[in-house]
Amino acid sequence: MSVLPQVTQLRGKVLDFLFPKWCVGCGREGDFICSACGSSISRIVPPLCPKCGIPQPDGILCSTCIGRQMAVDGIRSPFRFEGVIRQAVHQLKYQNLRAIAEPLAALLAEYFTDNPVPVDVLVPVPLHPKRLRERGYNQSELLAKELSRLTNLSVVSDCLVREKQTPPQARTATLEERRNNVTGAFACLDRRLQGRQVLLIDDVATSGATLDACAVALKAKGASSVWGLTLAREI
């Protein structure tokens, strides 16, 4: 019998002792998201617009998607960007709580298993090099790497790059403004992803303009399909 499971369990216990976890929602010690806060997470449930993934009666194309041509084949997100998920993303992005990427990716993996999309490679939405230097890490890459561990899909994080620094997508910006902000912001360095079915990974989507701009760059270098999976969605 293998002793590995026990070793892994022991390692987990030692880590918990050295780095105790507190719930990002209520502060209770134990997990990053306690079971009470976990059960209060608001999920995005069907029927959805098949393209952009927002709730839509009868599951037909929403009015926004009818009126625009998107390069991204579809976007899906398990949760609304509010409550404990909003706090978790804040901790991941701005409070250096990198370890929370693991349970968040587990939630993504669970969703992805129940709601499969065409994919053979994971690509995190890149940060601009200047933003990456300031933050020290790309939160989307952390999520992609943890998701890769859980799904055995490979991650390619050095092909798609962000060439233009864009202001954070403000809630108040119109769809048009958001699209203009990110148009041409991304590029693929080579044709490594030619013929591949790419799944873009990001923490939050708002209008989907960022994911769409990434899809334009990936398809320009031959990606056969590009879907987006984000932990949360502003609706």
Using CB under 5 A, list all residues that contact Zn ion.
23, 25-26, 34, 37, 49, 51-52, 62, 65
Q: Least Å distance between CB 85 and Zn ion?
A: 12
CA distance 108 to 147: 7
CA distance 200 to 197: 10
Nearer to Zn ion, 60 or 189 (CB): 60
Nearer to Zn ion, 29 or 158 (CB): 29
β partners of residue 76: 229
Nearer to Zn ion, 41 or 144 (CB): 41
CA distance 126 to 107: 21
Q: Least Å distance between CB 64 and Zn ion?
A: 5
CA distance 33 to 24: 6
Nearer to Zn ion, 87 or 138 (CB): 87
CA distance 221 to 34: 43
Q: Least Å distance between CB 46 and Zn ion?
A: 13
Give the DSSP H or E segment for 218: helix 209-220
- Closest alpha carbon to 235 in 99, 49, 103, 32: 49
**What is the maximum span of the chain, computed from C-alpha positions, in angstroms?**
60
Q: Least Å distance between CB 8 and Zn ion?
A: 25
Q: Least Å distance between CB 70 and Zn ion?
A: 9
Nearer to Zn ion, 49 or 182 (CB): 49
